[in-house]
Structure 1
Amino acid sequence: MSTDKEIDKRITGVWIDEAMDLLQVPSCILDAGGLEDSREAICRHVNPAFCRFMEKEKEELIERPFYQLGIMDKDSSWLNALSRAISDNQVIWGRLYAEKPGKWLRFVLAPVGENRMCSFSFLDISGEEKTRRRLRRDNATDKAIIRAIRRLISEPSFSRAIDRILQDLSRAIHPDRLYILETDRKTISNTYEWCAPGVKSEMASLQNLPYDDYMQSWEKYLENDTVVVIPDIEELRRHGDIDGYEILKRQNIHSLMSAPLYYQGELIGYLGADNYEENERMDTKYLLETVGAFIAMHVVNQRLMKRLEFASGNDSLTGVKNRNAMDIYFYEHADEPNHGILFMDVNNLKYINDVKGHAAGDKMLQELASFLCRHFPKEQIYRSGGDEFMVIIPHTDRNEVKHKMEELRRAMKSEPFSFSIGHAVSDGRGLRFAAAQADRRMYQDKREYYRHHKRYR
């Protein structure tokens, strides 16, 4: 089994640093290990976006107490959130006003392992705050826009904010359906929806559809306008877009307006309204276009946050859970009995790397992960080390775990790889004790393997 120092290295090692460096949002790793007051947490790593935000070099920012970096004072109330994230091992979302830069930030604090460390990522939303203040004008359209912006800024849950914004918009323009479509220009999916009473939901049927088949015709409208406006779908038929006409007709749509969502000039989706109501009190086009612009920024931010969350708990090479996720599971279920553990170590991986190259070794690890996913739910599989994998089976017994181990051994015979394996089931001595048992039995199995096979390492 790995030592605490080795665990620390994996948690704050090259892979998490490199993953964080790819993020476009400013991010850093904070370490309160060994400190009585987590508000004095040390900044261990910063990504390039963080350096740009601070207008400082990396060396000026790391290995210093976070409160000294020039974002906020030591007595800032935000540091209490940092203390909770580290002490209570929980993800905390929120927004804050950074006193020293004078900027509004939306942030997420996420624990990293069990060693009183966490990641801090944020997005500068000062522009939204300034826009919100400028839009305080006494007319219905501006009030609806401001209400939507407030939802996005103040609501901790993005999904709840979008649901409430769609409800607010429905009261302003009285459509049959409001929705958000998200796209990568290959497929398009309906991710959020509001329907008037008696109107059928279309969200389930609008998932992963070919973009060109369903949306390409919309882009023609954007050549001459900033919003897709189809006041009467009969004009589609008159212009020969029979497929587009039939798609909308099937959904009982007779008019449609959809504002494109852009991020850095790239189309990422649409905010749309079906069978909307035009009236003198509301500029529907301006409303959807402006609210859509703010939603677009938050959609991208949400995607980046999900990538960070995924990276913190998943192995980038194999796609299964990583050591960090395993350590969190051990912490949350430390004393629980009846957790089966299968511990595996790939045989001769070093030989494969040395002779065939690391690409071949990586492929073998990916094949093993896929092999395990055919036998267990993906959320039960962890890559615990370079060539080590662990499967944790809750609510089981020794007979079932042993049966699963023998099943894997039989199935392995037809695979291009082999591994040594050990098993155990947790009892009153805890999950880590069971993991150590499985580890010892795995090494016994490995010694037996090398009695009959040439040893390359």
Structure 2
Amino acid sequence: MDLQKFVDSYVTMSCIISVRTFPDGHYGDIRLVCANKAYIDTIEDPENIAYSEMLNNKFVPDSPYEIYIPKDLNFEDACYRCAVLKKPFHTYIHPERYNFWLDTYIMPLTFDEGDRHYCIYSQEITPCASTRRMSNLDAGVAESVLQTCIKLHDGSDFNQTMDEIVKDLCKQCEADKVCLILTDMKERTFSILSEAAGSPIADYSVEDYLRSRYEDFFDIIETWDQAIAGSTCLIIQNERDMEVLYERDPVWAASMQEVDVHTIVLFPLVYNHETLGYIWAINFKAENTMRIRALLELATFFIASEIANQKLLDQMKMMSWSDMLTGVNNRNAMNLRVDSIVNGEEELPDETAVIYTDINGLKQVNDNGGHADGDRMLKKAANILKDVFPDGDIYRAGGDEFMVLVTGVPEHIIEERIEKLKVYRSDKADVSFSVGYFCSCGKTDIRHAMTMADKRMYDDKQRYYQDHPYRKRR
């Protein structure tokens, strides 16, 4: 069979790929046997969108594919299934190593030569995501992704919705465990947003395990991009794949085998070129690999979008509730909290304390040193309040005045903390507080408590300025 003549008959960029099988059942030595001009242009033409992404810009027939792209287990598995098992393959993906999307079709050829098996690989490149191409899915996968989208749209409770989706994915993947982990690459932190167990042995807290097992699990997370190696995901489905992972990420590979993980699929959750987290499924059925990959490739696209939207909402809420200068809650947050208590939406415990504080001499600081000095004093005052009332909700009520709401703390402890604040009343202290507080033991009338604490603070301030008339506000 004239393979070159055959591939030249294709209009779309195409190449013939060979996969070699070995007596022990493994496969490898995957080669680009020949290609049509459209495909060769992706490698050799500087004007082609793919040119700059290639490791080598000269096409040599019958060359190992790794000459042009990094070793990719997902690509190898697709070629094996098509060339050797004679199963057609289609996907529409955006590998992280490229700045474009690939619409890929791999079709088996009946032409084989001994231990070499052949398929034809065709692709189209799109500079951005095409919804039409993304929706071209297997009916079963499409139904599952549609259900995910409906739940994301209709869910009023974000965390509950994510729990339902992860539970569904665990069932569809037939996995021991599916986990959705959020990451903050700048702060080097992580948290488990949701998890689901498919077997009793996997019914444990992932976050508790990771924090007890590792001194800093983020050290492992930082290696995941290297393990994925520019592909859309990492799929480990047999011992051969695990050997490759050992080469890329030996610490993580060893840790998985310690807890009897034989198969794993790991997808990054990427939105607007930012990695928001990852979703993984462990010990899934290897025969379901292609369906799991197709399902998660699209499902993670929508999940990442919803997480990004939720982060934006949280940021907007923080901006509307947080005092941007000091980082404590603002007056709007205080009013909303009081309203929720008054309306019966929140019931305060029997032991509740309201503390009002005011910074002495701020006007003098602003007049003498400027508002920058005044801002520094306000920030320091807020930090002192956070230190003295670590279990309290702190609000900047306005100007130089703060309110603290503490619940579940006995009155004698509150009094000790008030005395700690009054240590800052000396002439040498650069932050000085006037303080008033009200403690209740029983049902709390929040407005009465606030009024009493405010009045006592005002009386305390009057005494302070009587003792320090030179710091009195003009």
With the length of structure 1 as denominator, give the TM-score of the two structures: 0.62
Q: CA deviation at 1:297?
A: 0.6
Q: Separation in 2 of the partners of 1:325 and 1:274?
A: 42
Partner amino acid, structure 2, of 1:187: T
Contact 1:259 1:292 in 2 (8 A): yes
Residue in 2 that maps onto 1:443? 458
Partner amino acid, structure 1, of 2:145: I
Unmatched 5+ stretches in structure 2 = 1-128
Contact 2:182 2:192 in 1 (8 A): yes
Q: CA deviation at 1:424?
A: 3.8
Contact 2:159 2:193 in 1 (8 A): no
State the SS of the aligned residue for 2:437.
strand
Residue in 2 that maps onto 1:416? 430
Q: CA deviation at 1:369?
A: 1.9
Trace 1:303-452 onto structure 2 (pairs within 5 A): 303-334=311-342, 339-394=352-407, 404-410=417-423, 413=426, 415-424=429-438, 430-452=445-467
Contact 1:140 1:281 in 2 (8 A): no
Q: 1:239 to 1:436 in 2, by over 3 A?
A: closer
State the SS of the aligned residue for 2:450.
helix
Which segment is superposed worse, 369-378 or 335-344? 335-344
Q: Separation in 2 of the partners of 1:224 and 1:139?
A: 28
Match of 2:191 among 186, 189, 193: 189
Q: 1:330 to 1:234 in 2, by over 3 A?
A: closer
Unmatched 5+ stretches in structure 1 = 1-127
**C-alpha distance after superposition, 1:196-251 (max 9, x if no partner):** 22114422233698577213433235445221122346314652632122222233
Match of 1:275 among 261, 279, 283: 283
Which segment is superposed worse, 215-224 or 363-372? 215-224
Q: Separation in 1 of the partners of 2:296 and 2:443?
A: 59
Q: 1:329 to 1:261 in 2, by over 3 A?
A: closer
Trace 1:135-150 onto structure 2 (pairs within 5 A): 135=135, 139-150=139-150
Contact 1:136 1:146 in 2 (8 A): no
Q: Separation in 1 of the partners of 2:338 and 2:294?
A: 52
Corresponding pairs, count: 329
Partner amino acid, structure 1, of 2:366: N
The answer to whether residue 166 in structure 2 is matched with residue 166 in structure 1 is: yes
State the SS of the aligned residue for 2:270.
strand
Which segment is superposed worse, 380-389 or 352-361? 352-361
Contact 2:263 2:286 in 1 (8 A): no
Match of 1:205 among 198, 206, 209: 209
Q: Separation in 2 of the partners of 1:240 and 1:364?
A: 51
The answer to whether residue 157 in structure 2 is matched with residue 153 in structure 1 is: no
Trace 1:242-281 onto structure 2 (pairs within 5 A): 242-279=250-287
Structure with larger Rg? 2
Q: Separation in 2 of the partners of 1:341 and 1:169?
A: 47
State the SS of the aligned residue for 1:260.
strand
Question: Larger RCO: Structure 1 or Structure 2 (Cα < 8 Å, ≥ 6 residues apart)?
Answer: 1
Q: CA deviation at 1:132?
A: 11
Q: CA deviation at 1:377?
A: 4.1
Q: 1:136 to 1:147 in 2, by over 3 A?
A: farther
Q: Separation in 1 of the partners of 2:337 and 2:246?
A: 60
Q: CA deviation at 1:386?
A: 1.2
With the length of structure 2 as denominator, give the TM-score of the two structures: 0.60
State the SS of the aligned residue for 2:286.
coil
Q: 1:372 to 1:343 in 2, by over 3 A?
A: same
Q: Separation in 2 of the partners of 1:326 and 1:294?
A: 35
Residue in 1 that maps onto 2:177? 177
Q: 1:397 to 1:347 in 2, by over 3 A?
A: same
**C-alpha distance after superposition, 1:233-274 (max 9, x if no partner):** 631465263212222223321221112211111222222111
Q: CA deviation at 1:194?
A: 1.2
Q: Separation in 2 of the partners of 1:243 and 1:393?
A: 45
Q: 1:202 to 1:445 in 2, by over 3 A?
A: closer
Which segment is superposed worse, 400-409 or 365-374? 400-409
Q: 1:412 to 1:292 in 2, by over 3 A?
A: farther
Match of 2:233 among 224, 227, 236: 227
State the SS of the aligned residue for 1:279.
helix
**C-alpha distance after superposition, 1:35-55 (max 9, x if no partner):** xxxxxxxxxxxxxxxxxxxxx
Q: CA deviation at 1:338?
A: 7.5
Partner amino acid, structure 1, of 2:210: L
